[in-house]
Amino acid sequence: MGLRIQRAEQRDRELVVSVMEEAFHRDPVSGWVFPDEAHRRAVHGRFLGVFVDIALAEGRIDIAEDGAAVALWLPVPAGAPEGEDPTPALMRRTADPDNERCELVGRLTGAVHPHDRAHAYLLMIGVTPDRQGEGIGAELIGTELERCDREGLPAYLEASSARSRALYERLGFRFLGHAVDLPDGPPMYPMWREPQGG
């Protein structure tokens, strides 16, 4: 333990996108959105850049000091959002306009996102492949979860694989019971964590 963490600023955008692209290049959901690997390599960074820009503008991004991992967090207030979320359409327009899956993944996850209580939303976390399995991701997430516990704030995420779901369960998240089923694709697991301790 003892990971040094810094908060990303606009000047860190390309580093964050690069870490995310490496971390998610072989992710089951990214493979479903962009089935052709060469095409994925070409457009994946633009797709992930939408999430990075949103987190920089509306939330925060934590970076492990050595640049091996990043975590994108958004504060979500209680109450259903007003109007249609423009993000899924922006994901498609920015990354791959002819690929409806760019938009569909955002619409399907948005449809199940709980809004009855304010919470911290782990939009994405990525660890570079050469550093995965070392506990960096858990430690990076743990810093924010400690804050959530102190403030009595729940946390939410969607796990994109069974492997990541198991990691999040060790951190106190619980599967909400209904997977997001991507058409002819992998399941995503909405997960909720009540604040712990007291």
CA 87 vs CA 35, 47, 166, 189, 195: distances in Å: 21, 11, 28, 20, 28
Where the chain has pLDDT below 70, the residues are 1, 198
| Domains delineated in the chain | 5-79+106-193 (3.40.630.30)
Phi, psi of 135 (to 5 degrees): 90, 5
Q: Which amino acid is at 198?
A: G
pLDDT in tens, 1-56: 578 999 999 999 999 999 999 999 999 999 999 999 999 999 999 999 999 999 99
CA atoms within 13 A on the CB side of 194: 4
37's tokens: 């690997």
Spatial distance between the Cα atoms of 5 and 65, rounded to a whole number of angstroms: 5
pTM of this prediction? 0.94
